[in-house]
Structures are given as structure tokens and as C-alpha cells.
Amino acid sequence: MPEMPEHHDEGSAIASTGAGGATDLAMSEAETLEKVPGGPDGTGPDKKARSLWSDAWHDLRRNPVFIISGLIILFLVVIAIWPQLIASGNPLDCDLSKAQEGSQPGHPFGFNGQGCDVYTRTVYGARASIQVGVLATLGVTLLGSVLGGLAGFYGGAWDGFLSRITDIFFAIPVVLGGLVLLSVVSNNSVWPVIGFMVLLGWPQISRIARGSVITAKQNDYVQAARALGASNSRMLLRHITPNAVAPVIVVATIALGTYISLEATLSFLGVGLKPPTVSWGIDISSASQYIRNAPHMLLWPAGALAVTVLAFIMLGDAVRDALDPKLR
């Protein structure tokens, strides 16, 4: 977590209004897992006041949910970058004579319908999921917070226009939009899927960012900065952004899990990632035809997918608990 400058030390009160102003579901559905007893003990008179961020980090380090999900995500990121660390085989190396066979020495998860090793494919599948999840979240967060933040700061016609645009995007069901848009794309890299998610995902972040910027800009210190003659860009970067970013981070973390799930759903429907890309969604889709005879082909990639999504959602929950001072 970045160290915040001194004058943001009263940050918890400020961010409290910021977090409360966001009306997203993920935010209003507060507190999920019980926090560890003890809580923040830095309020004593002899201790130096902490910023929201160091306070949140203090909380997170003691939260078992954060530690477990963090370790799972770290592991997933490592095998997404270097899958050969734990899987020596080649995921595209298949032997049709072994199709649908169960587990064997050296092949703990058995073989799939084309006779590829299910363990190797499950390990290599992490790459596509993590790539899509992380890049889509980055794109959505950047686009959404810039558009929403500027709309919230400047208001006026641009704000009204942007709000109508977000209304339009909210009216289109996501899976449906994905089917329509991606069914005409023949490129089989991860980029069309990421592009689609950014296109349909930014309004969610934009609404949150707009709300929290509007809350932050009404604070006294922003008025004071304006009175001292600070430029718009200085007020935005130095005073508003640091105090409005917390709700966006929370929603983005939870959204990361749902993007991974969405990628698998689209791949299952045949419009997401396409072979030879190795993806859990594709493997689950092809295994579903043999579900009666060889359920193991489905269970391993499905389990990996569920654990990955769970880890990101738990991480988002823990971050929200730490950043939302109302729950302290």
C-alpha cells in the first residue's frame, strides 16, 4: 500500500462518507465474514494517527481470509506465468488412444476426450483466466474511473450524457451482449474477450467513481484548496483522487472474480476463448458431452475455476472490510 501524505491522516472520516456514498451492491452488502477479534488498536493517544491505507493494511495482515485468499492468488499468478514449474508435460500433447481414461501414475487427473493430460491442461488453464481477469479489470477500472471521476468532478452536460450512456449499457444483459459481439470475432487470442469486458464493464466502475468523487469534492479541504487557488488538475490529483479511490478498488477486486467466471461462461458457450488456447471454460464445455462416462474430465477444471473465483471474491471481501470504516 502506498504511504499517503501527512494531511490525509484524517482519512478515515473522509473515506467513510466516500464509501457510504457508493450505492453499488457490493458496497451496500457490507461485512461478510466475521473479522478477527482485536481489530485496530492504533487509536491510543500515544500512537501516531494512521492513514486509512496503513490502517487497512494493519487490519488485512491479521485477517485469515485475506491471508488464505492472498496465498491462493499468489500461487495462481506464479503458475500462470511459469506453468512448467509444476506441470512438465505439454497441454497440447494428446494421445487419442488414451481418451477418457481415468487417473494413472504420472497422470493424476486422467485424460480428456482427446486424450490430453487433464492435470497439465488444468495447470496451463490458469494463464488464460488470470490474464483475462487482470487485464479486463485494469481496463475497466482505468476507463471507468477516468470517465466517471471527470463526470463527477465537472458535472454539467457531460455528466448527464455519461449517466444516460451508463443506463444504456446497464440495460443489456452481459452474457447476451457477449454472445452477440463475440460470435462474429474469429480472432482466437484473449484480446477480443478482454475488449468486450471493458466495453460492457466500465459503466459499473464509472458509477462508483462518479459517486465517490462527488462526495469527496464537497469536503472542506477541497473548498479550501479551491480558495487557495489550486488548479482543477491539482485538486483532482492531490485532494480528491486519494480520498475517492477506496470504493473503486473494492468493487474492482470483486469484479475480477466475476470476469474470470464470465470468461469461462463465454468459452463454455463457444464464443469466448477458442482452441488452441487452453482455458478451463473450453475444457469444461468439451467435457460436458462425456459427463455420464467420465465426470473427472469436468470436475478438475471446474474445481480449479471455482477456487480461483472464490479466492478473488474473498480477497475483495477482506479488502472491503478493511477499507470501509463504518464496520470498524
Residues of this chain that interact with other proteins (CB under 8 A) are 25, 28-34, 164-165, 167-169, 171-177, 179-181, 183-185, 257, 261, 264-265, 268-269, 271, 284, 288, 291-292, 295, 298, 302, 305-307, 309-310, 313-314, 317
**Least CB distance from residue 308 to other proteins, whole Å?**
8
User: Which residue intervals of 82-186 are DSSP H helices?
Assistant: 118-154, 156-170, 174-182
**Least CB distance from residue 251 to other proteins, whole Å?**
14
Q: Where on the phi/psi map is residue 324: left (φ > 0), alpha (ψ -120 to 50), or beta?
A: beta
CA distances from 327 to 31, 39, 124, 148, 314 (A): 7, 11, 39, 26, 17
CA distance 5 to 242: 10
Beta pairing partners, 218: none
CA distance 109 to 101: 9
**Least CB distance from residue 37 to other proteins, whole Å?**
11
Q: Among residues 131 and 265, whose Cβ is nearest to other proteins?
A: 265
Q: Among residues 214 and 304, whose Cβ is nearest to other proteins?
A: 304
**Least CB distance from residue 29 to other proteins, whole Å?**
5
Q: Among residues 35 and 127, whose Cβ is nearest to other proteins?
A: 35
The angle subtended at Cα 165 by Cα 162 and Cα 169, nearest 5°, is: 140
- C-alpha cell of 185? 470475432
**Least CB distance from residue 95 to other proteins, whole Å?**
26
> Within 10 A of 156 (CB to CB), how many other CB atoms are there?
8
Q: Among residues 5 and 270, whose Cβ is nearest to other proteins?
A: 270
**Least CB distance from residue 143 to other proteins, whole Å?**
17
Q: Among residues 242 and 257, whose Cβ is nearest to other proteins?
A: 257
Q: Among residues 11 and 247, whose Cβ is nearest to other proteins?
A: 247
CA distance 213 to 232: 13
